[in-house]
Structure 1
């Protein structure tokens, strides 16, 4: 089966100026790009439209959902053809059987939970094989999550890793890299990752550097101590040679605007030193994560069951409230930088608390007849910590400045449950509509490069990210004059406009004029081992 796309505004993912021409696809592959192409079984007239490589979402939370339904429509319909799973140091594998009940509760606030899924896959190889068997609608790559590694090697307690513990973690990491993982992820605000010291991170990053894989990091602080946090991460890069990729890069808290220039200086210095440093970003001034992130790290020690015991204990609860109200050095206090009026509940797992979804913590307190923070602690206890949130943290000028950095690529960081952040449905079209067409922050070709070629190069994804002969036919056909996101924070489950067609491995996954595909055409990608 061959397809030819004619009269298209071709944007090839390299950042070079677009040109008009045709793209010829046969089977899964692009065979030619240019003005003269062979005859085809199907011809698509793309006059007035742009064609570019499929978008690569370098920070995705589809890890669980894709096992239950291979078609993640919020991603496909905005042009995403490849997702990188295993983010923030908390994901599906490795997962020793003994830890399944505890880990499911720890994971629920980010990726959800499932009563029907068979959780006994044990390792990254088992998890990837499960996806290969069930099929995937997008291409998927996987990062080894630091929290899962730590859990397998030494449990969920708030303890410092010994030399033997570090060696055990490195052995697990090597096993998972050998299974084809594309990098190591950590979330140093999430338990058990938050309990790691610098020696632990250096040990793991030495292995990542040995394999040529990046450290994908939600750093310890994106707020008050972001400069110290970045300094720690860059020191680890200097010591180990690891490629550092900062996740969802931002400065949290309008009160931290004075940190902007020191942060820029650190990025510039890293470039001057020729450290390998990249970052991704979603194009919004609000973030999204589990509501449990508002609690101090000690509250999570030992896993979710221990957290729930503390939430039910009067003295422990009083200590949590004290720490939230007064802060702890080095801890990103979401309440301090977003405020109780800037944090909104986005998802719960039970019907009993569905009335909380969409409410700010202030509104939740009013609804429950208590203070905003007491209401937040109550709902976390009732929902066993499976509560999502949106938090308003930042400044628009920072979003634009980081977007313009050469290290930056676009991501969604999209959670899928409840009333999700609008980035889940519209991050990529928002960049093309708001920041390219309307505000002219960058040329269209540069923006597409940051969605395609740059992330493919950053993560070593072969034969994707560019419109070139011999590459896989992951394509997006869109209208540069109309593409935009349509979701809002209160009505977020809205697909974008201006995306006409999405092709994955030569098969049409979405067509504005057609029906949904029956067969999932994505691939589970495994990183090849160095020769």
Structure 2
């Protein structure tokens, strides 16, 4: 093997991920690892295959998206366009309780086709990712909703002890095979049908692994504080490691609960629990339009709801009445924007709010909502969050970056702008509340440590060469609800495991050297990550 290095990056302002002050310097890469860092001009040039000047730019560890949903998309779009173009070099998938591998044979709850050549085990999913050769690294959680679907379908009832035992056995097997943790989505069916005791028993599978319990809490609005208390209690049954997904305060009348929520996190941390959270830097969420409907329709999965409404004019009328005058009445239809739909004829409504769509259809917003739901499974952006609260969340040293999005190709259809814009927007907003070095630490090293992505998230000799070079004054999201697939600006180059994974210069070849990151259980425990 040649002793010559593959790459030297010089003239860089280096943020090494540790939250230490930046320094001018250079870095050498050989194969998939960082060989050395040094002062300007201090590292040998002889025999180096490529020298790249990062003049005017930051060199930092590649970013970690701790809350992604690319379980299946990474197999369909292995180039990872939407993530890699932001500087994301690793993604944690399987969030919100949904992990594709668990129920692959039976189909899945997110509307994707079953995974080919996957026997329902974590190990087989890993092999599928490895065959796909993604551009970025993938770590995966094991999801509670998926376990419940596998064992008991969509039954609206408490799980029997034997069913909990079967779910726990599947979870333990996934953790042994390298799953990075256990996730829940208690706002979604069938997770919403479970009680706290079921989750506490399952979380016991985490004990001794050093892996987190990651949760889309039961509620992020009216019962936010009760839901956060539940999440903390569940985490205590594992290794006391909690990751609160997309931490937020939904709806204006709940915005004032932020102080109490933050105090609860600080109290839990002071008691020794390892509580972290993540957030996408937008005040609009994105989920199924079905989430706009009230009970009893909220307990019906998307496909079944579409079938019911399509076949029954009586059900359409009943739901419309609930949305106009009953329990589902709302005055914020202008804050619900159609993002994408499974019906091609809905494309003309993309980027428009429900009042605008209703106007084009000459009907009420409630009628328009029911019409769309009866024709397809649309997704929408819901505007119900506070910009002030968002910025305060971003100031917290334990708040990590998570897009809550999937991988999309540059040429793909519509999505929420967070898919292409989370990391530049997180960086620009968070740097107004904290130092750049602490923000980069949260986007890289701290995130990698929370999920035990060993050897990643720092710039140091012997660590994996996951790198991003970007100009901080040009690093901005270009995506919006009208053009959600626009790549961000300011990124010069992205390297994954030492290979060039992205450059805005289309003339350069892009390699796909991402890896499936199997996370080992850690019976001896682990050092609690510090905050940045």
Q: TM-score, normalised by structure 1?
A: 0.91
Q: Rate the CA distance shift 1:41–1:270 in 2: closer, same or farther, 3 A.
A: same
Which position in structure 2 is the counterpart of 1:83? 91
The yes-or-no answer on 1:397 pairing with 2:388 is yes
Q: String of CA shifts for 1:247-269, please: whole Å, max 9, x gaps.
A: 11111112212212111221121
Which position in structure 1 is the counterpart of 2:528? none
Which position in structure 2 is the counterpart of 1:274? 272
Which position in structure 1 is the counterpart of 2:491? 499
| Larger fraction in helix | 1
Which position in structure 1 is the counterpart of 2:459? 467
Q: Rate the CA distance shift 1:239–1:505 in 2: closer, same or farther, 3 A.
A: closer
Within the candidate set 416, 436, 459, 1:421 is matched to: 416
Structure 1 CA distance, aligned partners of 2:117 and 2:339? 26
Structure 2 CA distance, aligned partners of 1:228 and 1:313? 37
The alignment partner of 2:207 has SS state of helix
Within the candidate set 85, 107, 110, 1:107 is matched to: 110
Structure 2 CA distance, aligned partners of 1:326 and 1:27? 64
Which position in structure 1 is the counterpart of 2:526? none
Structure 1 CA distance, aligned partners of 2:222 and 2:324? 15
- TM-fit CA distance, 1:491: 2.0
Q: Rate the CA distance shift 1:151–1:433 in 2: closer, same or farther, 3 A.
A: same
The alignment partner of 1:186 has SS state of strand
- TM-fit CA distance, 1:318: 5.5
The alignment partner of 1:175 has SS state of helix
Mean alpha-carbon deviation: is it higher for 395-404 or for 305-314?
Answer: 305-314
Q: String of CA shifts for 1:102-143, please: whole Å, max 9, x gaps.
A: x2xx303xxxx359x637542222222111112111100101
The alignment partner of 1:250 has SS state of coil
- TM-fit CA distance, 1:191: 1.1
Where do residues 114-153 of structure 1 align in structure 2 (5 Å cutoff)? 118=116, 120-153=118-151
Q: Rate the CA distance shift 1:326–1:197 in 2: closer, same or farther, 3 A.
A: farther
Where do residues 84-483 of structure 1 align in structure 2 (5 Å cutoff)? 84-95=92-103, 97=105, 99-100=106-107, 103=108, 106-108=109-111, 113=112, 118=116, 120-296=118-294, 298-299=296-297, 301=299, 303-311=301-309, 312-313=311-312, 316-317=315-316, 320=319, 336=330, 339-383=332-376, 385=377, 387-415=378-406, 416=408, 418-436=413-431, 440-483=432-475
Q: How many residue pairs end up in the alignment?
A: 510
Within the candidate set 18, 25, 30, 1:14 is matched to: 18
The alignment partner of 1:87 has SS state of coil
Structure 1 CA distance, aligned partners of 2:397 and 2:494? 27
Structure 2 CA distance, aligned partners of 1:154 and 1:194? 14
The alignment partner of 1:95 has SS state of helix
Q: Rate the CA distance shift 1:297–1:86 in 2: closer, same or farther, 3 A.
A: farther
Aligned-residue CA RMSD (Å): 2.2
Contact 1:433 1:485 in 2 (8 A): no
Contact 1:474 1:505 in 2 (8 A): yes
- TM-fit CA distance, 1:182: 0.2
**5+ unaligned residues in a row in structure 1: which ranges?**
none
Contact 1:67 1:131 in 2 (8 A): yes
